[in-house]
């Protein structure tokens, strides 16, 4: 029996649009736009000036702070501007704009580190820190911070999150099929850095090919200190939001991350498949995070595909690389259709945490008017955090935020399931987010 | 550059909406309505017609007075209320009485409390309680199916006048839509299949009736099949608006309704207790939602 959690729903995954399409290299953009804030934490500061010539992999933004991430040039060329540019999140943020010269010179700082077996936990964290790696599943939390367990918290298990439970997205699935060794090496590095005893790769049961490939690779691979023997594959029920950290830990280990706590409180950390693969290639080649795999899909994209693209590529370049739109787009989503954000323009850049670009057809989106709540409790039965979303929505609508707090608004993981199932079409998750913001600003 | 819509996620929604839920409950009541017409003929047809027409008319009128748009969900919900009320009355009930009952259900039980989603009590049950209080003789006069010879409802008879098979099939005296248990179970199966209702309330309700009947040395199978229990447990107690949203609340709601039903049946002034049992538990619903909350993920047990 595949492992699972309570609540959640089965979504039509729409992954057949791109699941069988191998990762294809997208052309490097003519203009790369690199916001200095692509991650949780403090923004990076520019380390180059307008007019400077940069090479692939060169450090162009960094910060002295701990929770931050370095930014590197994804192309060769000239820095033509450092100013505020439209960010996928809808506001203008300080960005470095590089005009691609078309050359492919790699900056001399990009050199392979020591052989992996000789790396200490601190060295692994240093490499990850310098490469600017963040959580690539959408969270964008700086990876070196995650690899530094809080004092007094023992990490027993590292879980590689291969659930990819959002519909449409298939980038992680393709990585599992095409780069299984990298994923295992990345898992090894995270286990090494955190001192974890077990490594777990978690995959939903609707991806049997990925399960097969990883099992085979695990049998044939030899990792330093024979750590492959400490790694196992866990098969999870294909259910949304299986990829949510808390639900994944509950499914696999049967533990609940305490309210307000971190996975480390449950003695584990969860890292996305793409992050693991990136950590592995950085450890092997020294290359920083300058490209990633994204899925360009949806009913309004001519030839949906999985693309390996440079960070900073404008969305429209990648959409054009997939044959363009079928009809005038009304909405473009960064990420999955459940938790992704609607972007303000077609030329916003791909970020380190961009998992996909979606343009849905009108039939797929189905916008409709809000009706009165009939208290059907579909949201209650689906909520993976066991909240009462309909009541939380009422509290938010009436500005009863203290009551929302009492009913656990802050435990909401914002998966959007309540708004998805609601037959009255209330945007419950949005109402709860409002309450959360008010509560957090008051405390 | 095209103007793009910026709206919060989720960007996809389930196809099911309020109107679809009402439609599915109406479909689930087709077998019971057909059985009513089969056993009680034209009087059943007339009662169902009057119940629905009056409910929909009142709904439309009130929404117009409120100056808000009329939606399919409103009209379907009123249709459902009218139909359910008609199914709960005796075949000798006057057509105008059902019409007035429906009007009370929609105007007083539903719209006086704020309309769809805001009423505390199940409108159809309020309509029936109103009719029972207003025309007690008419509402408790029963006739046999087909020949319309005066007869008592099995619940009022002693000793048992009907067989279990008769109760299942429905050829005995009773409210027009409550006698044919098979038709109701068929509708209930459809509701479960379409995931319109959740199992906790009906299961708790029916189990409570069985267990409580056994404790009181009553014929538990008879208690289960007679009267309005099956219609009540699957179609009334599961009314989402007037039942708890919390899972433990649903258990308490069902068990409470079961116990009150049996208590009214054996010691109340009426032979049947389903209507008042559910209405009383409706009143408890806000309390259950407040105090019978479950544990939140990540909080200790």
CB A429 within 8 A of CB A375: no
Question: What are A253's two structure tokens?
Answer: 């280990």
Does one domain contain both A250 and A386? no
How much is the pLDDT for B295? 92
Partner residues linked to A201 by β-bridges:
A160, A233
B150 burial class (0-12, 13-18, 19+ CB within 10 angstroms)? exposed
Does one domain contain both A276 and A142? yes
**How would you label A254-270 residue by residue, b for 16+ Cβ within 10 Å and e otherwise?**
ebbbeeeeebbebbbbb
Q: Please, which residues have CB within 8 angstroms of residue B211's CB and are 6 or more apart in sequence?
A: B258
Q: How many domains does one find in chain A?
A: 2
- The predicted-structure confidence for B85-133, as pLDDT tens digits, reads as follows 999 999 999 999 999 999 999 999 999 999 999 999 999 999 999 999 9
For residue B300, pLDDT beyond 90: no
8 Å CB contact of A329 and B15: no
Residue A425 lies in a domain: yes
Residue A349 lies in a domain: no
Q: Does B159 sit behind a cis peptide bond, omega within 30 degrees of 0 on the bond before it? A: yes
| Closest-CA residue to A203 (of A186, A215, A192, A195) | A215
Does one domain contain both A275 and A127? yes
| Segment B291-295 long-range contacts (CB within 8 Å, at least 24 positions apart) | B292/B244, B292/B246, B292/B248, B292/B249, B292/B252, B293/A388, B293/A407, B293/B246, B293/B248, B293/B249, B294/A386, B294/B246, B294/B247, B294/B248, B295/A386
How much is the pLDDT for B160? 57
8 Å CB contact of B7 and A331: yes
| Closest-CA residue to B202 (of B227, B243, B177, B233) | B233
How much is the pLDDT for B189? 98
For residue A366, pLDDT beyond 80: no
Contacts of B63 in chain A (CB under 8 A): none
A246 burial class (0-12, 13-18, 19+ CB within 10 angstroms)? buried
CB A305 within 8 A of CB A21: yes
Residue B61 banded pLDDT, cuts 50, 70, 90:
very high
Residue A247 lies in a domain: yes
Contacts of B1 in chain A (CB under 8 A): 345-347
Does one domain contain both A134 and A265? yes
Q: What is the arithmetic mean of pLDDT over A331-337? A: 95
Residue A238: which CATH number? 3.40.50.11540
Question: Whole domain around residue A177: which residue ranges?
Answer: 112-285
- The predicted-structure confidence for A336-365, as pLDDT tens digits, reads as follows 999 999 999 999 999 999 999 999 998 888
Contacts of B73 in chain A (CB under 8 A): 371
CB A128 within 8 A of CB A276: no
Question: What are A260's two structure tokens?
Answer: 């307000």
CB A164 within 8 A of CB A251: no
Q: What is the arithmetic mean of pLDDT over A293-299? A: 96
Residue A309 lies in a domain: no
Which of A285, A317, A348 terminates a domain? The answer is: A285
8 Å CB contact of A374 and B241: yes
8 Å CB contact of A391 and B289: yes
8 Å CB contact of A411 and B297: yes
Question: What are A374's two structure tokens?
Answer: 């009939």
8 Å CB contact of A372 and B115: yes
For residue B158, pLDDT beyond 80: no
Q: Which of B14, B246, B297 sits opposite A421 (nearest CB)?
A: B14
Structural domain boundaries in chain B: 18-147+172-196, 197-292
Which of A235, A255, A285 terminates a domain? The answer is: A285
Residue A430 lies in a domain: yes
Residue A313 lies in a domain: no
Interface test with B, best of A333, A380, A435 (most B CBs within 10 A): A380
Q: What is the spatial distance between Cα B230 and Cα A207, in angstroms, rounded to a whole number? A: 43
Does this complex have an ipTM over 0.90? yes
Does one domain contain both A125 and A230? yes
Does one domain contain both A275 and A383? no
CB B77 within 8 A of CB A372: no
User: Measuring CA to CA, how many Å separate B77 from each of B26, B194, B241?
Assistant: 9, 18, 11
Q: Which of B21, B245, B289 sits opposite A423 (nearest CB)?
A: B21
Q: Which of A372, A373, A376 sits opposite B21 (nearest CB)?
A: A376
| Closest-CA residue to B109 (of B142, B139, B143, B77) | B77
Does one domain contain both A404 and A274? no
Comparing alpha-carbon positions, the chain A residue that sits nearest to B115 is A372
For residue B301, pLDDT beyond 80: no
Q: What is the arithmetic mean of pLDDT over B209-231? A: 93
3-state per-residue secondary structure call for A379-402: HHHHCCCCCCHHHHHHHHHCCCHH
Mapped onto helix, strand or coil, the DSSP state of residue B61 is: helix
Chain A touched by B297 (CB under 8 Å)? yes
Q: What is the spatial distance between Cα A334 and Cα A351, in angstroms, rounded to a whole number? A: 10
8 Å CB contact of B296 and A385: yes
Give the closest-approach CA distance of A283 to chain B in angstroms: 36
Residue A140 lies in a domain: yes
| DSSP H or E run through A63 | none
Contacts of A13 in chain B (CB under 8 A): none
Contacts of A365 in chain B (CB under 8 A): 11-12
Taking phi first (over 0 means left), then psi (-120 to 50 degrees means alpha), and beta for anything else, what does residue B189 get?
Answer: alpha
Q: What is the spatial distance between Cα A332 and Cα A346, in angstroms, rounded to a whole number? A: 8
Contacts of B243 in chain A (CB under 8 A): 375
How much is the pLDDT for A241? 94
How much is the pLDDT for A412? 96
Residue B146 banded pLDDT, cuts 50, 70, 90:
confident
8 Å CB contact of B13 and A368: yes
Which of A257, A285, A313 terminates a domain? The answer is: A285
């Amino acid at each position: 029996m595949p492992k699972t959690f309570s609540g959640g729903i089965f979504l039509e995954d729409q992954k057949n649009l791109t699941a069988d399409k191998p990762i294809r290299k997208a052309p490097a953009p003519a203009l790369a736009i690199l916001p200095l804030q692509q991650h949780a934490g403090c923004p990076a500061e520019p380390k180059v000036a307008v007019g400077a010539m940069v090479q692939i992999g060169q450090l162009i933004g960094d910060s002295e702070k701990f929770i931050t991430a370095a930014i590197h040039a994804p192309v060769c060329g000239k820095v033509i501007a450092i100013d505020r540019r439209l960010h996928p999140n809808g506001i203008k943020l300080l960005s470095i704009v590089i005009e691609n010269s078309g050359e492919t010179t790699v900056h001399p700082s990009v050199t392979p580190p020591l052989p992996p077996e000789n790396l200490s936990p601190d060295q692994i964290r240093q490499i990850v820190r310098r490469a600017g790696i963040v959580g690539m599943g959408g969270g964008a939390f700086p990876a070196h911070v995650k690899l530094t367990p809080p004092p007094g918290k023992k990490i027993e298990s590292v879980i590689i999150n291969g659930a990819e439970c959002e519909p449409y997205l298939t980038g992680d699935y393709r990585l599992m099929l095409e780069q299984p060794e990298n994923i295992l090496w990345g898992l090894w590095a995270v286990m090494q850095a955190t001192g974890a005893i077990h490594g777990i790769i978690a995959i939903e049961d609707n991806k049997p090919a990925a399960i097969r490939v990883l099992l085979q690779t695990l049998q044939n691979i030899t990792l330093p200190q024979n750590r492959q023997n400490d790694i196992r594959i866990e098969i999870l029920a294909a259910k949304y939001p299986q990829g949510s950290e808390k639900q994944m830990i509950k499914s696999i280990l049967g533990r609940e991350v305490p309210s307000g706590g971190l996975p480390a409180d449950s003695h584990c950390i969860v890292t996305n498949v793409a992050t693991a693969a990136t950590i592995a290639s950085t450890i092997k080649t020294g290359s920083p995070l300058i490209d990633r795999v994204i899925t360009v899909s949806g009913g309004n994209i001519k030839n949906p595909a999985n693309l390996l693209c440079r960070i900073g590529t404008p969305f429209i370049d990648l959409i054009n690389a997939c044959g363009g739109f079928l009809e005038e787009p009304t909405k473009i989503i960064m990420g999955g259709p459940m938790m992704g954000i609607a972007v303000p323009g077609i030329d916003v850049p791909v970020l380190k945490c961009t998992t996909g670009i979606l343009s849905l057809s009108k039939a797929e989106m189905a916008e409709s008017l809000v009706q009165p709540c009939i208290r059907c409790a579909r949201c209650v039965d689906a909520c993976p955090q066991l909240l009462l979303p309909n009541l939380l929505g009422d509290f938010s609508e009436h500005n009863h935020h203290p009551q929302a707090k009492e009913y656990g608004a802050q435990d909401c993981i914002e998966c959007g399931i309540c708004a998805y199932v609601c037959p009255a079409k209330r945007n419950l998750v949005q109402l709860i987010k409002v309450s959360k913001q008010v509560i957090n600003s008051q405390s | 550059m095209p103007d793009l819509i910026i709206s919060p996620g989720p960007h996809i929604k389930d196809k099911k909406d309020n109107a679809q839920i009402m439609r599915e409950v109406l479909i689930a009541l087709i077998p019971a309505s057909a059985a009513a017409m089969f056993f009680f003929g034209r009087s059943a047809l007339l009662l169902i017609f009057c119940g629905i027409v009056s409910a929909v008319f009142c709904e439309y009128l009130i929404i117009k007075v409120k100056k808000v748009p009329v939606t399919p969900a409103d009209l379907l919900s009123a249709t459902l209320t009218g139909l359910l009320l008609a199914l709960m009355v005796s075949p000798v009930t006057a057509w105008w009485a059902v019409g007035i009952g429906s009007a009370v259900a929609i105007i007083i039980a539903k719209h006086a409390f704020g309309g769809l989603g805001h009423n505390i009590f199940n409108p159809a049950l309020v309509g029936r309680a109103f009719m029972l209080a207003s025309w007690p003789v008419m509402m408790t006069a029963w006739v046999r199916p087909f020949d319309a010879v005066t007869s008592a409802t099995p619940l009022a008879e002693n000793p048992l006048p009907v067989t279990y098979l008769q109760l299942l099939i429905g050829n005995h005296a009773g409210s027009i839509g409550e006698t044919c248990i098979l038709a109701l179970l068929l509708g209930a199966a459809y509701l479960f299949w379409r995931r319109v209702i959740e199992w906790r309330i009906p299961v708790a309700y029916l189990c409570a009736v069985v267990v409580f009947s056994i404790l009181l040395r009553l014929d538990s199978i008879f208690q289960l099949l007679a009267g309005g229990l099956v219609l009540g447990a699957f179609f009334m107690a599961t009314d989402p608006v007037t039942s708890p949203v919390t899972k433990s609340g649903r258990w308490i709601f069902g068990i409470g309704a079961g116990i009150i039903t049996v208590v009214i049946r054996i010691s109340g002034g009426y032979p049947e207790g389903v209507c008042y049992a559910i209405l009383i538990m409706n009143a408890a619903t806000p309390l259950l939602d407040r105090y019978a909350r479950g544990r939140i993920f990540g909080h200790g047990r």
